[in-house]
């Protein structure tokens, strides 16, 4: 099999242990060298808000706490380093749909471990559907999730978060609408997104869930 990122042939044989476990086999989708270019976020020194390695509660999260009176507990798998930026460029902006497989297993595993009542992937708007053709988050998730609870506002043009500066991102107005309030009431919610940058997108979605009376809310992103 070829590495999805660089095309190198991967020689992979399941071990005897893999075969004896009767688990679904997950052959690597990228070679060891590409895999090493991504940096996992360790457990040490994690901010209990954004989950980045910035100490107990980082300045960004302290500002959210002041502004909203609550913070979301986010967990991310990888640092948003150059390799991850390059990956996102190819996957999202060049629309290479095959690349959903690179992190699908790891992301799905972490999402399922949370045992949330509802898994809600952050939706993409009409414009992105038309240009990219797929939601980069749901494409990676190999589990049950709900896409009929939060939608994007019609005519919303707040698409290119990634092209904005930090202050601009933080000023972005609410791009989402709640489609199904009753479903959320008293439930534990897990939001899933690709990248946590300022937190603005996640907090917009989380605010709607809080207003609808969810019991608890957390989020997971692939990178931050
Ligand atoms: Zn490779
Ligand atoms: Zn933080």
Read off the pLDDT of residues 106-117 as tens digits, 9 standing for 90 and up: 999 999 999 999
Backbone angles phi, psi at 184, to 5 degrees: -85, -30
**Ligand 1 centre and the CA of 34: distance in Å?**
4
Structural domain contains residue 128 = yes
- Predicted pLDDT at 79: 96
Mean pLDDT along residues 209-223: 96
Structural domain contains residue 20 = no
Token digits of residue 141: 């998730």
**Ligand 2 centre and the CA of 111: distance in Å?**
20
Percent of the chain residues past pLDDT 70, beyond the cut: 96
**Ligand 1 centre and the CA of 6: distance in Å?**
4
* Run of H or E residues at 205: helix 200-211
Mean pLDDT along residues 106-135: 95
Domain holding 74, by residue range, is 45-154+175-223
DSSP H helices in 9-142: 16-20, 32-36, 59-68, 82-88, 101-113, 126-131
Structural domain contains residue 4 = no
Q: Which ligand is nearest to the CA of 7?
A: 1
**Is the model's pLDDT at 171 over the cut of 90?**
no
**Ligand 1 centre and the CA of 27: distance in Å?**
14
Structural domain contains residue 57 = yes
Total tally of structural domains belonging to the chain: 1
Structural domain contains residue 144 = yes
Nearest to 60 by CA among 198, 210, 222: 198
Percent of the chain residues past pLDDT 90, beyond the cut: 78
**Is the model's pLDDT at 78 over the cut of 90?**
yes
**Is the model's pLDDT at 158 over the cut of 60?**
no
Express each pLDDT in 24-74 by its tens digit.
778 899 999 999 999 999 988 999 999 998 889 999 999 999 999 999 999
For residue 11, what pLDDT band results from cuts at 50, 70 and 90? Answer: confident
**Is the model's pLDDT at 142 over the cut of 70?**
yes
Q: Which ligand is nearest to the CA of 61?
A: 2
Q: Which ligand is nearest to the CA of 102?
A: 1
- Predicted pLDDT at 23: 73
Q: Which ligand is nearest to the CA of 56?
A: 2
**Ligand 1 centre and the CA of 38: distance in Å?**
11
Mean pLDDT along residues 137-151: 96
Q: What's 128's domain CATH number?
A: 3.40.50
Rg (C-alpha) for the chain, rounded Å, is 18
**Ligand 1 centre and the CA of 80: distance in Å?**
18
């Amino acid at each position: 099999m070829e590495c999805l990122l660089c095309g190198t042939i991967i020689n992979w044989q399941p071990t005897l242990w893999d075969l004896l476990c009767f688990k679904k086999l997950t052959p690597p989708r990228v070679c060891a060298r590409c895999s090493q270019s991504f940096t996992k976020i360790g457990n040490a020194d994690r901010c209990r808000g954004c989950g980045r390695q910035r100490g107990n509660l980082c300045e960004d999260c302290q500002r959210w706490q002041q502004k909203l009176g609550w913070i979301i507990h986010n967990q991310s798998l990888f640092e948003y380093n150059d390799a991850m930026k390059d990956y996102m460029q190819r996957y999202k902006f060049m629309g290479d749909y095959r690349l959903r497989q690179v992190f699908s297993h790891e992301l799905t595993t972490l999402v399922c471990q949370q045992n949330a009542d509802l898994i809600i992937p952050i939706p993409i708007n009409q414009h992105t559907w038309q240009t990219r053709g797929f939601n980069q988050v749901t494409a990676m998730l190999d589990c049950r999730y709900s896409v009929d609870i939060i939608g994007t506002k019609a005519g919303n043009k707040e698409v290119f978060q990634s092209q904005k500066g930090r202050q601009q991102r933080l000023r972005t107005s609410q791009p989402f609408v709640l489609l199904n309030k009753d479903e959320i009431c008293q439930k534990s919610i897990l939001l899933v997104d690709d990248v946590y940058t300022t937190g603005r997108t996640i907090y917009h979605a989380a605010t709607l869930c809080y207003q609808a009376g969810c019991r608890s809310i957390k989020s997971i992103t692939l990178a931050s």
